[in-house]
Structure 1
Amino acid sequence: MTATAVSAERSQRLLVGKALDPRSNSLNLIRLILALLVLFAHSWYIVGDGVGPHFRGENLGGWAVAGFFGISGYLITASRFGNRIGVYLVHRIARIFPAFVVCLVVMAFVFAPIAYLIQHGSLSGFLSTPTTPINSIIANLPLRIVSYDIAGTPVGVPYPGAWNGSLWTLYFEFIAYLIIGFVGFFALAKKSPWPIILLFVLSVVFWANMDALMPYFQGNPNVALAARLIPFFLGGAVVQSCSSWLGFGNLPGIASILLAGLIVFFVHGFGPQLAAPFIAYGILWISTWLKQPKVVGKNDISYGAYIYAFPVQQLLAVLGAYHWGVWLFTIAALVCTVPFALLSWLLVERPVMRRARKTVYSTPS
C-alpha cells in the first residue's frame, strides 16, 4: 500500500479533518517565519530602541519560541514513538548538535575577531583575552550557555557582552527531548493519550505555582526557564498523542486559535502554557493549507536562521548599523542571515542528518 493510500485510509478513521501529511505541509515555511520573528524581536534590543511589541508580557520572539516548541513537541513525540531509544537519540543529537558546534566556532573565529580588530586595531591578545575564543566554545558545548562574550567583545554597542542571545533555548529543547525519550519507554503512553495529557497538566500546574516553588530550588533560573518552556513542547506532544483519532480540520483549527487567544487573554500568569495544545494544533492546522515555495520545502533553513541571526545582528551593530533604526537594521540582518542559514543547511545539517539515517535502521523522523 502506498503512503498516499495509507494516509487516505487513516483519514477515514479520524473524527475530524485529515491527518497531517509529512510530505505535504508548510512547517518549514512556518518555522522560518518564526525564526525571522525572533530576529525582528531582537532587533529592538540590539539597536537600543526599547523592547519592541509585547503581548501579555511576552515579546514576539518569546511567542515565536513557544511556536517552535509546540511544533517540535508534535514531531519529536512522533519520532520517539516510532523509533527505538538509540535511534531516537542519534537523530536528535544529529539534528541539534553539529550545527550548534559549528555556530560556536564561527562566532569565535569569524565574528569575534572582526569585532576585536575594530575595538583594538589589531588581533594581538585575541586568543588569550577572557573569555578566550577556545574556552567560549568548550564552556558552551553542553548546550547550556554560560559564556556569552568572546575576548571581551562585543562592546560599544547598545547590547554589549553577548554574541548570541538565542542559543540558550536549545538546552531546554534538549531537556524536552529527554523527557519524551523517557516517556517512550512506557507502552501505555504510545497506546493512550492520557499519560501525555497528564504530564502536560502537571507541567502547567508546576509553572502556575513557580513563585511558591522557587525557594525550594534556591531561585535557580534554569528551573524557571524550563518550567516556562516545556509546557509548550508538551502541548505539541498532546496533539501528537491524539493524532490517531483527531485530524486537522477547518472548524477545529479555527476553534483552537480562538480558544488559545481567549485562554491567553483571560488566564493571568499561566495562560500561554495552558493554551499550548491549542496553539500547537492551530499552527499545525495552518501548515495543512498554507502553501510554501518548493525551495523552502526542500531546504529547511529555519534552524540556521535561528542560531545565526543574533551574531549577524551583533556584528552589524559593531559595524555601526544600529544607527539605521529597527526596520532598516532588520532588513539588513535578514539579508545577511539567510546565506549563513543556507550554508548551515547545505554543509552541516542536511549531510549530518542523511549520514545519521544511513547509519541506523529506523523510520525517518
Structure 2
Amino acid sequence: MTVVLRQGQRRYREYADPNIGFGWLRLIGATTVVVDHSWPILDPSRLTIFPASWDASPGYVALMAFFAMSGYQISQSWASDPSWWRFSAKRVLRIFPPVLVVVAALVFVIGPLFTTLSAGEYWSDKQTWRYFVGTSLLFLLQHELPGVFVDNPYPWSVNGSLWTLPMEVIGYVLVLAVGLLLLLGLGRWFVFPVLAALLVADSRIQATMGYHGDVGSLIEVPLGSTVAFMVPFAMGMVVFAFRDRIPLNPWVALGLLGLWIAVHQTPLDRYVLAVMATYGAIVWAHHWPRRLEMDGRWIFGSYGMYIWGFPVQQLIIIAGVDDPWVLAALAVPAAYLCGVASWVFVEVPTQRLRRHLKKPLRGGPPAAAAPPGRAEPEVRRAGTPPAGPPRSRS
C-alpha cells in the first residue's frame, strides 16, 4: 500500500492534469499546421514543408493525432454525462461559436476590405451569402469569397483550414451513436467492430494527405478523407473505453514512432501512423510535465489559432511577404494571438452557458462543473493537410 501511495504522489508531483497535456499538444499541433501551410500557400505545387519525395506532412500527422485526442476526450465527455441532448448542446456550444465569428469577420470585414470587386458587386454576389450561410453551417462549406485573395498564389480558398470541421462533427455523432447503443446494454467491446469497419473502408478507399479517394462526398464533406480521419478518432474511443486495461507507456509511444518511420512509404504506413498518432498523443497528454501547467488562456487557444491561421497567412501575403520562412515566423504569433482572443472572448463565454444544461438530481447534488480553463478544450480540430482541401485526382 505504501508503494502505491508513493507512486501516486510521484505522479501527482511530476505530471500535469491531462487536460493541460491535451491543451499543449493541440497548441503545438496548431502551430505545426500554420508552419506547414506556409509552403503550399505560397507555392501550390507543394503539399507540405517536406520534399515531395518524403511523402509525408507534419500537418497531416498532427491531424491524425488531433482526431485521436478528440475521440478520447469526447468519449470522456459522454461518459461523464450520458445525456444525448446535453451532449449535443455541449458540442454545438464548443464548435460553432468560434466558426461563426471567423466567418462573419471574413464576410463583413476582410472581404469588403480586400475584394477586387466594387462594394455593390461584392454585396450583390450570391456567393458572398452562400459563403456566409454555408460555411457557418459547416456541411455546406464554401471556400471562395468574390474577389477576395484572388491575386494571392493560393486563390482557391479564403480559409482552407475549415474543411476538417464537418468531419469533427461526424466524430461527435459517432460517439453519440455508440454511447446510446452502450446504454441499451451492449458491452464496451462494441467499439472494436466500429473500428474494424472503419479500417476495412479505409483500406479500400486509400485516401491520403493529398487525395480524397474516389467515393464522392456527403454534401460538401469528402467521404474518403472522413473515413481516414475517423480511424484514429475511433482508436481514441477504444483507448478511453479500455483505459483500465491499456497502459500508457512513453517508451511504447517512442517505439511506435520508430516503427512508423521504419515502415513509412510501405502499405503498412497508414495503419501504423494511425496507431502511433493515437497512442502517442494520449500517452504524452497523460505524461505532460507538471512544471508546464499554466493559466488555460495561454494554452487552450489552439482551436482559434487553427481556424484563424489560414486567413492570417493570406493577409500577410497581401502585405508582400513571399518567403515561406518569413511567412511562418509572422503567421505563428499572429495566429496564436487570434487563438488566445478566441478562447477568452468567444469560447469561454459560450462554454459558460453549459451551466444552464443542468443534470437532474438523482440521490445527490450534480457534479461541479469544470472551470473554463479546464473545460473540454477539444478542437477540433486543428491540423489539416497543407493549404486547404486536396484536389481530387479525378
Q: What one-letter code is carried by the residue in structure 2 that aligns with 1:106? A: A
**TM superposition shift of 1:99:** 0.8
Q: What one-letter code is carried by the residue in structure 1 that aligns with 2:125? A: T
**Aligned length, in residue pairs:** 343
Q: Matches of residues 332-343 of structure 1 in structure 2 within 5 Å?
A: 332-343=330-341
Q: Match of 2:278?
A: 280
Change (3 A) 1:27 1:44: same
Change (3 A) 1:296 1:259: farther
> Which of 171, 175, 180 matches 1:176?
171
Distance in 2, Cα, partners of 1:356 & 1:33 = 27
**TM superposition shift of 1:145:** 4.9
Q: Matches of residues 200-239 of structure 1 in structure 2 within 5 Å?
A: 200-210=195-205, 217=215, 222-239=222-239
Q: What one-letter code is carried by the residue in structure 1 that aligns with 2:244? A: S
**TM superposition shift of 1:320:** 2.0
Distance in 2, Cα, partners of 1:112 & 1:183 = 41
**TM superposition shift of 1:349:** 0.7
Q: What one-letter code is carried by the residue in structure 1 that aligns with 2:123? A: L
**TM superposition shift of 1:358:** 4.0
Percentage of identical aligned residues: 24
Q: What one-letter code is carried by the residue in structure 1 that aligns with 2:226? A: A
Q: 2:236 matched to 1:253? A: no
**TM superposition shift of 1:226:** 1.2
- 1:165-223 Cα offsets, whole Å, 9 max, x none, are 110101011101101100001238998542212211221111101269x77x5677721
Q: What one-letter code is carried by the residue in structure 2 that aligns with 1:90? A: A
**TM superposition shift of 1:76:** 0.7
Change (3 A) 1:115 1:149: same
Distance in 1, Cα, partners of 2:233 & 2:170 = 10
Distance in 2, Cα, partners of 1:24 & 1:359 = 22
> Which of 68, 71, 77 matches 2:69?
71
Q: What one-letter code is carried by the residue in structure 2 that aligns with 1:154? A: F
Q: What one-letter code is carried by the residue in structure 2 that aligns with 1:331? A: A
Q: Match of 2:307?
A: 307
Q: Match of 1:5?
A: none
Distance in 2, Cα, partners of 1:25 & 1:55 = 36
**TM superposition shift of 1:256:** 3.8
**TM superposition shift of 1:164:** 0.6
What is the TM-score with the length of structure 1 in the denominator?
Answer: 0.83
**TM superposition shift of 1:24:** 6.3
Distance in 2, Cα, partners of 1:211 & 1:28 = 30
Distance in 2, Cα, partners of 1:219 & 1:281 = 29
- Larger relative helix fraction: 1
Q: 2:147 matched to 1:152? A: yes
- 1:221-248 Cα offsets, whole Å, 9 max, x none, are 7211211111011111111111023332
Q: What one-letter code is carried by the residue in structure 2 that aligns with 1:165? A: G
Are the counterparts in 2 of residues 46 and 317 from structure 1 also a CA contact under 8 Å? no
Are the counterparts in 1 of residues 34 and 309 from structure 2 also a CA contact under 8 Å? yes
Give the 3-state SS of the residue equivalent to 2:40 in structure 1. Answer: helix
Q: Matches of residues 68-217 of structure 1 in structure 2 within 5 Å?
A: 68-83=66-81, 84-116=83-115, 119=116, 123-132=119-128, 134-187=129-182, 192-210=187-205, 217=215
Distance in 2, Cα, partners of 1:91 & 1:24 = 17
Distance in 2, Cα, partners of 1:57 & 1:86 = 42
Q: 2:28 matched to 1:29? A: no
Are the counterparts in 2 of residues 253 and 281 from structure 1 also a CA contact under 8 Å? yes
Q: Greater CA deviation, 218-227 or 297-306?
A: 218-227
What is the TM-score with the length of structure 2 in the denominator?
Answer: 0.77
Q: What one-letter code is carried by the residue in structure 2 that aligns with 1:300? A: F
Distance in 2, Cα, partners of 1:190 & 1:246 = 23
Are the counterparts in 2 of residues 25 and 289 from structure 1 also a CA contact under 8 Å? no
Distance in 1, Cα, partners of 2:260 & 2:355 = 36
Q: Greater CA deviation, 288-297 or 236-245?
A: 288-297
Distance in 2, Cα, partners of 1:237 & 1:273 = 16
**TM superposition shift of 1:329:** 0.7
**TM superposition shift of 1:104:** 0.7
Change (3 A) 1:70 1:218: closer
Q: Match of 1:17?
A: none
Change (3 A) 1:249 1:60: closer
Give the 3-state SS of the residue equivalent to 1:159 in structure 2. Answer: coil
Give the 3-state SS of the residue equivalent to 1:195 in structure 2. Answer: helix
Distance in 2, Cα, partners of 1:211 & 1:246 = 28
Q: 5+ unaligned residues in a row in structure 2: which ranges?
A: 9-14, 208-212, 360-365, 371-375, 377-394
Change (3 A) 1:42 1:218: closer
**TM superposition shift of 1:23:** 5.4
Are the counterparts in 2 of residues 131 and 152 from structure 1 also a CA contact under 8 Å? no
Are the counterparts in 1 of residues 23 and 300 from structure 2 also a CA contact under 8 Å? yes
**TM superposition shift of 1:35:** 0.7
Are the counterparts in 2 of residues 260 and 279 from structure 1 also a CA contact under 8 Å? no
> RMSD over aligned Cα, in angstroms?
3.2
Distance in 2, Cα, partners of 1:354 & 1:190 = 33
Change (3 A) 1:152 1:67: same
**TM superposition shift of 1:22:** 4.5
Change (3 A) 1:277 1:360: farther
Q: 5+ unaligned residues in a row in structure 1: which ranges?
A: 1-7, 13-19
